[in-house]
Structure 1
């Protein structure tokens, strides 16, 4: 009997021990930077593998569809069959459209990208959605649409980071860091540039730099770079020619080139928006648009295959030099149009590498007039590097990200300083004249107000219905002053909300004012309507604390009624300005301390 009792008691004990071990692992990850570092190592391994895997699938598709070798880049290959070049993007558009049609029937919610996830949702991304984006990106790029794979890289890797954070039940700020680790690993692996990946995460995905995030993000970027090198060799390297000597006089043309790239970036972003607007106004179903976009891309590719895919091969092809300026200008115009049509018509992908390619073209085109500004010391290669960084900043954002990219692909400090001057110029011009990067511009077109990955989601969750008091004092607007004073003696409340005969909000009365008027006024007021205020000032339950604070400031009210909606105007609560500002300040301080690691789980 004892043996039976012992055996039957063993499974619960084992289950308890296993549960305790799981809790310890989760507590270790939540409570220390070492736990985050170990998590970032796992994310870096996954990101490097994901980038290498997606790159291999893309190149395999290029080889099978276009008949080129696995070692060839699509945008620099010679394809004699022009009909194949025309039909491939169209077939890709049809396949993607079918995918989108099936997806629209099964999934209604909007797919969240890493910037939006970190800004609004505390780093929570659906891994399933991330896989869907990666598949869409592979279809688009694999059939030759003028988009890069970086969007799929970062989405999938950030989704893996978010999934790991969810499994470990990490706090909001730690989740945001792991999403940044995924994105850092993806970009680092994609460009063989760990510093670029790390600062991409800091500037664009996390939205800020902190000591807590430094080690996990950098380690993830380094690990992902090593994994991608081991799996894919040197296929991600960007090679440039001789740099030459940089002189102080070279900074003037570099700054001018930065301003030109800023203007070009704004035109490209607005071009994407214009294509999307035209597609919407045409009433063409969303699943048909990629095929129509594929027709345009295919026609352009018949002129030159350099418009196809992201442009890795075309970048190296033109950096070798010897291409006349008028041909470079033609390639730039066609690539810009192909990219705008691809993104605007519904192909999935990003403009990261495409912006580098187009920026290099702008730099080499600028080389001819630059000779008249300087003594001719700036080579087309130098201006190509400056141009690719400056245009990428204009479209993608991240001045330091693009500066470190220039450093890591050239290993030259003088040109890095030159690039820094250009990217700062480009960034300032875009921010002051346009105000958005490509990602945040698309959020703006969707009606979102976010302009970076700074965590503002907590503001949206700190809503009026969570801050208000539901026990409010109400009175009828038609009541006499004597009845009102009898129902609300002095000191029973600070203010009373008035309702009309239909139980709708009519305004607020200050109780001390009613009693002060009886004693001090030379001509006392005779009805409640004489004391009423803020008839058209009120709050709605779904407003956040920041919106409420703005209404308080505008109405000069110490407290306002909360009504259910603008039609019924039923009073559901009351909120004071002091309480709103105090809770907002407390939450803001908590977020700040959590970001710098002062709060523990």
Structure 2
């Protein structure tokens, strides 16, 4: 072997040994995973800054706004730009979608779905796809936020690194949550908000073991975003350090109104999507129509454009007549519904904050008319922002911490917490979904949170069954059966008809105790119409056993009723219990050793 080739081989072996050692360290050391989460957070902070800068650059190019100007608060924009840019932007997005579909035909898996169904497995390709679509959608003025793209990038990067280091399922889910925590923390300059967004939406539960990597990622991402001077919104007015206890009942009323309004908004998105699909079958034309609607609303107010950072700032710091506030709310809600329903990529995160803030301000204005001087409009705006955001997004503690980190006022945070709790309860009882899980429901996925149910779907009858069950013809003489299958040989025997298809199950002890007049073993058959399919998951299989009141059920291939195996209830319950205990150990902290 030449000397150069020998050196390369030695270097490759060294790198391989180091990679194996590093993987072993990450699988056995909690500190190592926290360090990895911090590194991921720093990278996500950089990505969030880059995506935000790219979207704002497109807005500067297409709308002619200045570097420091926010599109949703821009004034004196030419009407032709407001109408033309979203329409052409919709056409451009359709072209981008066509190109991306050839490269990545499968729909992207977002962090919530990944953690709920796939054990945290995500693709960096999906992050690129969603990121490109979100940047273009936001850049042309569609009323969508970038937070979905940030979260996809953070979760995808974390998942890819976790898979590279061969992390366990529980560790990988936590790392995906840490990546999204960094994304949201960087987007809002609010590490606590990012951390609890991850706990409530992406991980699905809170645990001490998950706390450290999630916080490490959120803090490091926020610090990177601050160093890069990434644009975040802030409240420009001083909020009170003490609030009157009389404001608590008003905050509860705002929470109820926000919960009901959020349900209307989420159902409105679904209804608009169905109607647009019926009226405009072409995806390209649907995007262009959606862009035209957004542009038309923007001619009324530019609050309809983009996520709404500038408009939210103005909502906090300016005094506006109640009639105009109501108009702005309606414009923003309609623009958001049409944007998402027509196919623009993005989410309702920031739009819900703006709509809620306007709703709180409107409530304060109406109260001032009825009982002057009324509550502080800024405080009610913060309460409405958080309550409506929690109702739509499904993260009440994250929204509470957003208000706290935005204002630095514990007094206001108390009001917010009360409103958030009421809004969340209203949505939970009357609707049952957040916007993300509602979208999954419309797609046919049974996901109500990021709680790990993927392992249940992986634990199927096909995996658990005994593949070599004893089978005999159903027409077999009972005496011959007793001779062929003595007591103690097995408990259950599968019966087959003349065509080799499943005909039932017979209990061996029952067959040996049968009366003499029983001619064939088929006369003792049970569960002839009760079978399992190979893809039946553990939960559905347990329901089938309970309904059949059986100790064992055959697993067949479908209409052909060819027997593939036999599954006993005792084995199913034992394996299910083992998996549940394993998940509990993972949720109690990052698995070690």
Tell me which interval the TM-score lies in, with the shorter structure as reference length.
Answer: over 0.9
1:572 aligns with 2:564: yes
The secondary structure found in structure 2 opposite 1:125 is coil
The CA distance in 2 between the partners of 1:286 and 1:469, in whole Å, is: 48
Of 211, 214, 238, which aligns to 1:242? 238
1:559 aligns with 2:546: no
CA displacement at 1:529 relative to structure 2: 4.3
Match of 1:539 in 2: 532
The CA distance in 2 between the partners of 1:598 and 1:275, in whole Å, is: 43
Match of 1:220 in 2: 217
8 Å Cα contact 1:73/1:312 also seen in 2: yes
The CA distance in 2 between the partners of 1:508 and 1:114, in whole Å, is: 44
Match of 1:99 in 2: 96
State the Cα deviation string for residues 145-182 of structure 1 (Å, max 9, x = none). Answer: 00011111111121111121122221112211221111
Change in CA separation of 1:175 and 1:527 when aligned onto 2, cut-off 3 Å:
same
CA displacement at 1:331 relative to structure 2: 1.2
Match of 2:261 in 1: 264
Match of 1:593 in 2: 585
CA displacement at 1:11 relative to structure 2: 4.6
Of 319, 332, 336, which aligns to 1:335? 332
The CA distance in 2 between the partners of 1:99 and 1:12, in whole Å, is: 43
Of 272, 276, 289, which aligns to 2:273? 276
The CA distance in 2 between the partners of 1:107 and 1:14, in whole Å, is: 35
State the Cα deviation string for residues 291-322 of structure 1 (Å, max 9, x = none). Answer: 12111111111111111001111111222232
Moved more, 134-143 or 246-255: 246-255
Change in CA separation of 1:5 and 1:301 when aligned onto 2, cut-off 3 Å:
closer
8 Å Cα contact 1:66/1:79 also seen in 2: no
Of 393, 396, 413, which aligns to 1:396? 393
Match of 1:55 in 2: 52
State the Cα deviation string for residues 203-251 of structure 1 (Å, max 9, x = none). Answer: 1111111122111111111111111111125x21321523334122211
1:232 aligns with 2:229: yes
If the length of structure 2 is used for normalisation, what is the TM-score? 0.96
CA displacement at 1:15 relative to structure 2: 3.2
Change in CA separation of 1:534 and 1:259 when aligned onto 2, cut-off 3 Å:
same
CA displacement at 1:286 relative to structure 2: 2.8
Of 282, 285, 298, which aligns to 1:301? 298
CA displacement at 1:515 relative to structure 2: 2.0
1:549 aligns with 2:549: no
The CA distance in 1 between the partners of 2:539 and 2:169, in whole Å, is: 20
CA displacement at 1:362 relative to structure 2: 0.8
Match of 2:381 in 1: 384
CA displacement at 1:63 relative to structure 2: 1.1
Long gaps (5+) in structure 2: none
Count matched residues. Answer: 592
The secondary structure found in structure 2 opposite 1:103 is helix
Moved more, 58-67 or 366-375: 366-375
1:413-424 matched pairs, under 5 angstroms = 413-424=410-421
8 Å Cα contact 1:253/1:373 also seen in 2: no
State the Cα deviation string for residues 408-460 of structure 1 (Å, max 9, x = none). Answer: 00100011011001101111111111110011101111110011111111111
1:112-131 matched pairs, under 5 angstroms = 112-131=109-128
The CA distance in 1 between the partners of 2:6 and 2:39, in whole Å, is: 36
Match of 1:438 in 2: 435
CA displacement at 1:525 relative to structure 2: 4.0
1:52-91 matched pairs, under 5 angstroms = 52-91=49-88
The CA distance in 1 between the partners of 2:78 and 2:4, in whole Å, is: 73
Match of 2:347 in 1: 350
8 Å Cα contact 1:188/1:221 also seen in 2: yes
CA displacement at 1:512 relative to structure 2: 1.4
8 Å Cα contact 2:37/2:216 also seen in 1: yes
8 Å Cα contact 2:277/2:286 also seen in 1: no
The CA distance in 1 between the partners of 2:177 and 2:454, in whole Å, is: 16
Change in CA separation of 1:515 and 1:424 when aligned onto 2, cut-off 3 Å:
same
8 Å Cα contact 2:205/2:451 also seen in 1: yes
The CA distance in 2 between the partners of 1:312 and 1:7, in whole Å, is: 58
Of 575, 580, 584, which aligns to 1:583? 575
1:466 aligns with 2:463: yes
The CA distance in 1 between the partners of 2:488 and 2:171, in whole Å, is: 48
The CA distance in 1 between the partners of 2:86 and 2:155, in whole Å, is: 28
Match of 2:191 in 1: 194
The secondary structure found in structure 2 opposite 1:530 is helix
State the Cα deviation string for residues 319-347 of structure 1 (Å, max 9, x = none). Answer: 22321111111111111111011111110
1:36 aligns with 2:41: no
The secondary structure found in structure 1 opposite 2:283 is coil
The secondary structure found in structure 1 opposite 2:288 is helix
Of 25, 30, 42, which aligns to 1:45? 42
The CA distance in 2 between the partners of 1:403 and 1:374, in whole Å, is: 28
The CA distance in 1 between the partners of 2:497 and 2:520, in whole Å, is: 14
State the Cα deviation string for residues 469-510 of structure 1 (Å, max 9, x = none). Answer: 011122222333233333323333212222222222222122
Of 23, 26, 29, which aligns to 2:20? 23
8 Å Cα contact 1:253/1:370 also seen in 2: no
Give the aligned CA root-mean-square deviation in angstroms: 1.9
Moved more, 572-581 or 290-299: 290-299
